[in-house]
Chain A
Amino acid sequence: MNTYTTALTVMAGLAMTMPMVCQAQDPLSSLTKVKVLTKQGKTDDAVALCDAVLKRFGGKGATARQFAYVLPYYAWEKGVVYFRAGKYEEAFNAFKAFKDEPKWRDPAQLARAKAAATGAGSKDAYEPYFTYALFQMANCRYKQAVGDPGKDNGDKAKFEEAIKYFEEYLDLVQRGKVTKTEKDQKMDGQICFVLVQAYILKEKPDFKKAAEYLEMSRKVKGRVPDEMAMDGLNTIVNVAISNPENVGWVYKLVEASPASYNLDPARAARNVNKFYNLAQRAYKVMNEALRAGNDQQAADAARTANTLYGLVEDGYSALAALQAQAKAIGKYPKPLLDPQTGVQMSSAYARKWYANVKGLEEKGARFDGFSIMSSATIAKDMGSNRLARGGFQVLFDRYQNLALPPKDETAQPFPMKNNITMQLGSLCRMTGDDDAALRYEKMLEGEDMGDQTKVLVFQKMSRAVSDRDWANVVPCAEEVLPYYKDDKTNKLYLTARYMIVAAQYQMGEYEKTVKAARELISSGEMKAVEGKETLKPAEAAKYDNDVYLFLVDSLSRLAEKTKKPELHTEAIKVFDEYAAKYTSPDLKQAPQADKMYYAAIDQHMKRATAAKDDKSADEDKKIAVKYCDHICKNWPESNLYPTAELLAAGILLNNTDDAVKATAMPRLVRAADGGVKLGTKSGRSTAANALFWLASYAAEYPNEGETEEAAKARSRAYADRYWKDGDAEGDPFSLPMASLYLTMVNNKEDYENAMKIAQSTIAREATYMFKNEKSDPELEKTINSYVDAYVKGSQTYHGKTLTLEEKTAHFNSFPGIDPNDKYANAIFRMAQINSMNEELAGLKEDKAAYEKMENQILEVFRNMTNQFKPADLTNYICVEVGDYLVRYISKFPDPSSRSEELGQAVAYYKAVTERNKDLVADAKLGLANALAFYKDAAKQQESAKLYLEVSKDPDPKVGGPALYGLTKLYLSGGNATAAIESANKYLRNRQNQRQRMDVSLMLGEAYTKANDAKNALLAYMNLFNANKGQVGYASKACLAIMDIFWKRNNPIKGDRLQKGFQNSDRWLAWNTGQQYVNLVRNSGLENKLTPEDRDEFNKLMSTVHNYGTDPAVMKEEKDNKQFARNIQSSKKK
């Protein structure tokens, strides 16, 4: 190339040799004038001069012939002039005309031109233009197709021609059919690259063809200048992203020719922001595609963005390389070409870009940092919080000074440190590293985050919500509110208000919940309005519905806590307000409607329970059933549907009218079906409840026309279905159903099946309770049912009477019970003891057998107390064992002599009182009972103290028995006055309790001991008159009354014929007893007496007999009878 420069050089050389005559016309130096005119923008003049020369010397004259060989230069230069003026159509025509003009190819003329050129120092004349014209024609068409820079005014149709001519020229180059001059230019790489762009920019982009040329551009000899490669990439991204379907081609094209873009750090320095900006555009496409659900496009855009971020050079690498380059070149003023790599180096470039990158770096604008942030954002958008956290951790550790460049020179860069810290904290939170999150969040405390502050404050609240740190949610939410005081429709503001209510509710702060919920509802702010940052209708409805639900439930809980049933009425009013506001059953409009109706049912039922009169209770129950119907009708798909059916059935089953009760049956069937359909744990639980009730009541309420047998079979079918559709570990109905199932046995097969199910259910539930440290009295009941069924079933279905050893062996190795499960094993032992006690009762007539059995029981029992230490057993079992011991001890005439058992009982009870969790009152009562047996005054005092403490317990299960025990203790200790007081307290406050008659007897005894015969008589008389059907108690009271009269011994008072006559006390004593004996005998009560009652009645009869045979009584009775006969006969007369 050093022998060929331009046409101008050639022409200038020729001009020097021209005769002066020719210079007047100057076909040689005119070309210089053309150049000057072109440079001055005088295109028309330049073209006119070319045309003038062509015309002047285009003839056939001698002069024309002399200068004919220079005319091709003017023909070519016309094209150049037009091209430089941007007149591409004219330029195209000029180049084409040149190429097609045969006379320029005249060998003689060409030889002259070459000779002249050689003389001027050039190897070539105009012969390269014949082929190069193709390139220029392509170039013109390309320019026309692209249009003006920055304007969309190109004629894309021209790309086809541009491609055609470029490809034709490239073909010539690659086949070596161009001049050496052209070959030396190594244009093939650049042509390939322009073709890449042409194929992408044309009307119908052909990315495949573009990729082929990109690949080719890498392999050909001619290199693509960096600037061209970069601008080409810009073109590719512009086109591809303008139609996001093509975004994937960007990474494919770049990956097809990585060496075009992977530059050494010094060269890459100038492109960092360009690559970054292109990557950002790809990221935008990715984000939009993700939101639109276009996963393939999102994936293409993500890879494109990642590829482009990857091309962003590290700032420090670029600086170091530019510094080294500047130092290497020194002050050398020209660009320096490295021929093997094609890389140009220049001092100016190195210094300029060093200053540029350094300036950005000093302002915190590090594009490598931005790229890491964007890569992390892509990962987060795709759902990987861990990768995103990794990115922000790197930024936090290495890019503390990162800052966004200012929008204009007067503004300051925006530091990213706080945003990075905030994001990192948030990502730590999302990835479960709360400690790290807290660390970063604390760093931001007190930082001015500008507009981000309110978002930060909201995020703090959101974190507290996601952590369920409700105590923190309230202050966090209150911190949010002031930021939106002028924007109360903002969704963040309304969310914060909602969270205040929700958090109070979650914390169980029901009074505060009520207050906050009422304020929010009455403010009317919770609504959807049009706008960008407002709640959508569904969101507003969700929040509003929740607030109503929290309010109703809080009022309900407060009603129970404060014992104020009127709060249920308030809750009902809130519901009524809600129901009036949300009339549509559409759950999209009223998302919590089904739950609100369910809550309303609950309120009406609770109010019914607390109602003072049946009428208002019935009204509430009716409304509850109506709301159940509302749920069942409107929301059959709701999770609450089966529960609503079950609730309605439960209410109906409590009705006194059998016809109403029967209507519960189909509802129970629907509840069971609905529960099963839900397929959830709670659905199965509902089904279990419904099936248990169906199994329990179906036979009682047969279908119309159904026989008793068929109803029983149906009942059993429900029980069978229970095991399939309802049974579950821990379900409260499993054990009762196992017990019930044992009673539904019709034959041996049923029996075996029921026993098998009972066994496995007991084992499973015992294990469940063991593992979860729970207790349930139902386990004991079921074990007792099982023991009973086992013993009786062996006899009935196997004809075998089990020996004690066989029973012991069976219960001690019950299948499925963990040997370490002291709880279940202890129940079995007690069940065994209970079974033996039943046998014991049947042996009363056989004293020897009775004593043997009693000893055996004692043995089993002792084994049990030896095997199960108080610390091993649950509170329930401890109390049970303690109670058993106390009952056992009480059978002895002198319980205080049973010091070993007493000590054990005290230990079991104390285990419970010391744990101080559940059943503490029961244990204290038992402990008082045990201590009461001691003769030691201190222990008796302790007993009295415990009785007094427990007697204050409102639970009748312990409060009444404590007063009973206290009375008994005082009585046995001779403190009649205290006994009278505690007995009267019992009788006043503990009406209808089991021990009332015993206490009445003790009251009488206490008055007697206090020498208050009058009140003693009154106490006994009250008991006797009110309980004549209770022969045992009535006999005792009667005996006491007789005794009092007998001992008082007042004589006959007055004359039988006169008013005021009174029989003697002794006759009265006898007569009272005799009258009662007659009543018992004549009423048939005598035939139903228990052995214990019989004993008391026998004592009474014996005393009556003794009193009746007293001579004085006999005489008085005889006189009374005589007097009665006299009166009778006088009446007849």
Chain B
Amino acid sequence: MKLFKIVGFALAALSCVHFAEAQQAAKLTAVVQTPGAKPGVLTLERSDGEGTFFYMPKGTDQLMQARASACGMFVIQTPADMAKALRDYYGGDYADARKGFAAVKKKYAHLAGLPGSPGTMAALYELVCAARMLDIPAVKTLSASIPGEKVLNPVEKGQVEAAKVLALVDDTPESFAAIQKAVVALAKTTGVRLDSEAYGWTRYALGRAAAATMAVANDKTKSANAAIDFYCQAAMSMHGAQKTVPADAIKRAMNLLWNLPDVQAYASKAPKPMEKKEWFKAPANFRDAVAMAHYYKTVYETGTPDPLATQLDAYYYNQLKGVKKGD
């Protein structure tokens, strides 16, 4: 149980270094230890996009420059508009966050390419927002240009590359080969250092592409099964960390299962809800479609109920009911 550690007003925060507030627009404040100097607060004027920043020491009118990588300390203070966008982002309000990040990216474009640069980070987060909103055209545009991308850490770079894979989704049969090729290339460059959400995007993209191949496949069931498996990998990879993409993946997988041979025919004669006897005799694809619908409604659904998930959930039978541990 955490409680206030202090009785008086001596909160820990008071012992911290305090930043001066940024007074000028389109400038950034940073705590910097330039080579040979003590840590101090600098106002950053601009950057060259490659890690060099320009600043004007207090009381002078001379513009100085230094490389961030050469500094003993280089921490850019988060500007208010970036902080607001971040609050929206972590609060799940991706639409507002995306607008905020777009504005920050533009506002601090001349300061991109520095470690922790709001212009660069806003571009990354704007891309993540677009991906979480499944705005594929925006993902395509945004992933193509991240100002100062070099300063991103390896996992963040992986996110950008995975978003480029997601951007290839166009629901054409041809997209499968292109996405598959891009996924193989991505695995070579990032390996396991791809976060689980970004990995989920690639699985989602493969799912969409595999589903698109059904239009031309001789064995449509095989294509559908491949798509279902990719969607399920996408949903599970994100392990609840993110809602929109997994929810969409599960709904698509459920829809494909529903359209597999014999599933609807079986549903037309199955009781609602099902009992144990019928449940275990039902075709596996039917049971999985129903279980997936139940999982979706239980774990992900918000707002307007999905009609197919609602329809399928009505058949649901809890197969663990009455099963004792160890059975």
Contact = CB atoms under 8 A, between A and B. Distances in A.
Interface of A: 1, 4-7, 80, 83-84, 128, 136, 139, 142-143, 146, 149, 181-182, 185, 190, 194, 197, 218, 227-228, 230-232, 234-235, 257-259, 262-265, 287, 290-293, 295, 298-299, 302-303, 305-312, 314, 316-317, 320-321, 323-324, 327-332, 334-341, 343-345, 368, 371-372, 374-376, 378-379, 381-391, 393-394, 398, 430-433, 532-533
A820 B156 CA distance: 69
A382 B233 contact: no
B73 A332 contact: yes
Contact of A332 (B3, B33, B228, B239): B33
Nearest to B39: A332
B45 interface: no
A306 B318 contact: no
A328 B323 CA distance: 54
Contact of A379 (B203, B236, B321): B236
A314 B91 contact: no
B7 A262 contact: no
A228 B228 CA distance: 41
Interface in B281-317: 284-285, 287-288, 290-292, 294-295, 298-299, 316-317
B1 A146 contact: yes
Given A311-B241, A330-B72, A80 B8 contact: yes
Given A311-B241, A387-B291, 17 more contacts: A6-B10, A80-B8, A185-B11, A231-B2, A299-B298, A306-B299, A316-B193, A339-B21, A375-B236, A383-B290, A384-B294, A385-B288, A386-B288, A387-B253, A391-B236, A393-B229, A432-B285
B231 interface: yes
B9 A324 contact: no
Given A337-B13, A383-B291, A139 B229 contact: no
Contacts of B239: 306, 309-310, 312, 368, 371-372, 374-375
Contacts of A312: 239, 241
Interface string B231-249: 1111111111110000000
Contacts of B316: 383
Contact of A384 (B78, B115, B292, B321): B292
Contact of A291 (B229, B294, B324): B324
A379 B10 CA distance: 48
Nearest to A299: B298
B236 A328 contact: no
B79 interface: yes
Given A194-B3, A258-B91, A386-B229, A328 B115 contact: yes
A369 B67 CA distance: 38
B153 A291 contact: no
B284 A394 contact: no
A143 B1 CA distance: 10
25 contacts: A4-B9, A84-B7, A258-B91, A259-B87, A262-B92, A290-B320, A291-B323, A298-B318, A303-B298, A312-B239, A312-B241, A314-B197, A320-B154, A332-B31, A335-B12, A339-B21, A372-B236, A379-B236, A379-B291, A383-B287, A389-B232, A390-B231, A390-B235, A433-B225, A533-B326
Interface of B: 1-4, 7-19, 21, 31, 33, 39, 71-75, 77-80, 82-83, 86-87, 90-92, 115-116, 153-156, 192-197, 199, 203, 225, 228-229, 231-242, 250, 253, 257, 284-285, 287-288, 290-292, 294-295, 298-299, 316-326
A232 B2 contact: yes
A379 B284 contact: no
Counting chain B CB atoms within 10 Å of each CB, the highest count among A257, A312, A324, A340 belongs to: A340
Given A5-B10, A293-B322, A328-B73, A340 B17 contact: no
B288 A384 contact: yes
Counting chain A CB atoms within 10 Å of each CB, the highest count among B12, B79, B90 belongs to: B90
A324 B80 CA distance: 22
Counting chain A CB atoms within 10 Å of each CB, the highest count among B7, B79, B90, B322 belongs to: B7
Contacts of B325: 291
A317 B155 contact: yes
Contacts of A235: 1
Contact of A382 (B74, B83, B295): B295
Contacts of A336: 16-17, 31, 75
The 7 closest A-B pairs by CB, nearest first: A390-B232, A310-B240, A231-B2, A383-B291, A391-B236, A340-B83, A384-B291
A1019 B7 CA distance: 133
A394 B90 contact: no
Determine the main DSSP class of A at the interface with B.
helix
Contacts of A308: 240
A429 B237 CA distance: 21
A316 B195 contact: yes
A128 B18 CA distance: 24
Contacts of A136: 7
B82 to A, nearest CB: 8
Contacts of A295: 318
A522 B10 CA distance: 83
A190 B196 CA distance: 32
B115 A290 contact: no
Given A290-B318, A334-B15, A386 B295 contact: no
A532 to B, nearest CB: 6
A383 B288 contact: yes
B129 to A, nearest CB: 13
Contact of B90 (A258, A309, A323): A258
Given A259-B90, A332-B39, A394 B229 contact: no
A299 B83 CA distance: 35
